[in-house]
Structure 1
Amino acid sequence: MTTSAKPGPRERLLLAAQELTYTQGVGIGVDALLKAAGVARRSLYEHFGGKDGLIAEMLRRSTAEDEERYRATMAEAGDDPRVRLLAVVDRLGRIASDADFPGCRYLAADLALSDRDHPAHEVTRAYRRTLHGLFVDEFVAIGHARPEFAADQLLILVDGLLAAGATRPGSRPAAASRELAEHIIDSGLGA
C-alpha cells in the first residue's frame, strides 16, 4: 500500500492562490485563501510575510510555468521564426476563445494592485521582459528590420488578445490577432 504525502502548508497556499486569484482576482480575501489551502493564518505569515508576499510568489511560480509553455509552443512549431511567433498567437487565441476564459492573471493583477510598489508588479514586469526577449530573438532570426519594436507590438497584441477574450465574448480575438501578428511580422521583412 502506498500513501502520497499531502503538500505542506507553503505549497497548499501557493496552489490555492494560483487557483483562486485566477478565477476571482488578487482581491480575494485572506480567509478564503486560508480556507482553500486548509492552513492557519500563521502559515501565511511564516512562509510569505503576508498576502502581498504570497501573491508575488504565486505570480513567480505562474510566470515560470507560462514562460515554459511559450517556449514549448515555439519549439513544437519548428525552426521557422515566423511560424513560431504565429504559433504563440494561435495558442493564445485558442485559450482566449474559451467561453470560460477569465483573462490574463498578470494583466488583472497589474490593474487590481494600485500600489505601484507592490512586489507583484516587479514579477509581472520581469515576465513581460522575458517574453519580449523571446520575441526579439525570433524577430532577429527572421531578419525583421525593427526587432525590438516588433516585439513591443507583439506584446501589446498579446495583452489585447487576452483582454478581449475575457471582456468581449464573441469578438473573435483569435482571428483578428492572427492577422495583426502577420502584419507585425511581415511589415519588417525585406525592408
Structure 2
Amino acid sequence: MATNSSVRGGPRDRLLEAAKRLTYSQGPGIGVDALLREAQVARRSLYEHFGGKDGLLLEVIRQAATEDEEWIRSTLDAGGDDPRGRLLGLFDELDRVVTRPGFRGCRYLGADLGFAAADHPIHRETTAYRQRVRAVLENELVDLGHPSPQHAAEQLQLLIEGVLATGAAATVAHPGRVARALADTVLAQAA
C-alpha cells in the first residue's frame, strides 16, 4: 500500500486514493482535514472536484464497486466452465482475502453504517452494487440449473457478506471455508 508521499496524479486522483485508503482503514467518519493532509491538497480541491466530503466518498464507493465487480468476474472466470466450481472458487478466494493481514471488512457495509440518513446517496450506490453482485450469482446459478436461482443467489450473497463481516471480526479462523461448505449445500439443490 502506497504512502501519501508516493501518490501520483493531480489533486482529484490524490483525494480519491487518500479517501479510499483512509475510509477503509478508519471508516467513513474520517475527518476532512485528515483526508486533505493524506492527499496533500488544499480544501478548495475537495470542493472543486467533489462538492465536499460526501461527494468524494460517493465516488470512492463507485470506483470500489467497479473494481470489486471486476474481481468477482475474474475470480469466477478463473474457476473454469463449471458454474458449481466457479461459485465455490469464489469462496476460496474470499477466504484468502479476509485472512490477509490488514483486512478491515466490507467497505459497503462500513459505508452503510457510517451514514445514518436512509436517503443518503451512498445507500443507493451500495444497494446497486449488491444488486449487481446478486445478478452475477443468479446467472451462475441459472447456468448450473438450480431450481431456485433467485433465492439461492440471495443465500450465497448472505454467505459472502457473512464472510466479509466475520473476517473483519476475526471470530473464525477461515470464514470463507465455513461459508464454502454452506454454499455447497445451496448448490447441491441443483443436482
TM-score (norm 2): 0.93
In structure 2, the partner of 1:89 is 91
Question: Does the CA contact (< 8 Å) of 1:164 and 1:171 recur in 2?
Answer: no
Quote how far apart the aligned CAs of 1:15 are.
0.5
In structure 1, the partner of 2:15 is 13
In structure 1, the partner of 2:4 is none
**CA shift digits 1:9-65 (9 cap, x unpaired):** 111100101111111110100000000111111111111111111000011001101
In structure 2, the partner of 1:47 is 49
Q: Any stretches of 5+ residues in structure 1 without a counterpart?
A: none
The correspondence for 1:24, drawn from 4, 23, 26, is: 26
Take 1:168 and 1:12, find their aligned partners in 2: how far apart are those partners?
Answer: 31
Quote how far apart the aligned CAs of 1:167 are.
0.8
Question: Does the CA contact (< 8 Å) of 2:91 and 2:177 recur in 1?
Answer: no
Q: Does 1:74 align with 2:71?
A: no
* Identical amino acids, percent of aligned pairs: 50
Amino acid at match of 1:72: S
In structure 1, the partner of 2:120 is 118
Take 1:111 and 1:87, find their aligned partners in 2: how far apart are those partners?
Answer: 29
Report the aligned-residue RMSD: 1.4
Quote how far apart the aligned CAs of 1:77 are.
1.0
Take 2:8 and 2:170, find their aligned partners in 1: how far apart are those partners?
Answer: 40
Question: Does the CA contact (< 8 Å) of 1:136 and 1:150 recur in 2?
Answer: yes
Take 2:183 and 2:8, find their aligned partners in 1: how far apart are those partners?
Answer: 44
Quote how far apart the aligned CAs of 1:168 are.
2.8
In structure 1, the partner of 2:38 is 36
Q: Any stretches of 5+ residues in structure 2 without a counterpart?
A: 1-6
Runs of 4+ in structure 1 over 2 Å off: 168-172
Higher alpha-carbon deviation: 165-174 or 139-148: 165-174
Question: Does the CA contact (< 8 Å) of 1:93 and 1:177 recur in 2?
Answer: no
**CA shift digits 1:74-119 (9 cap, x unpaired):** 1111111001111111111111122421111111111121111221
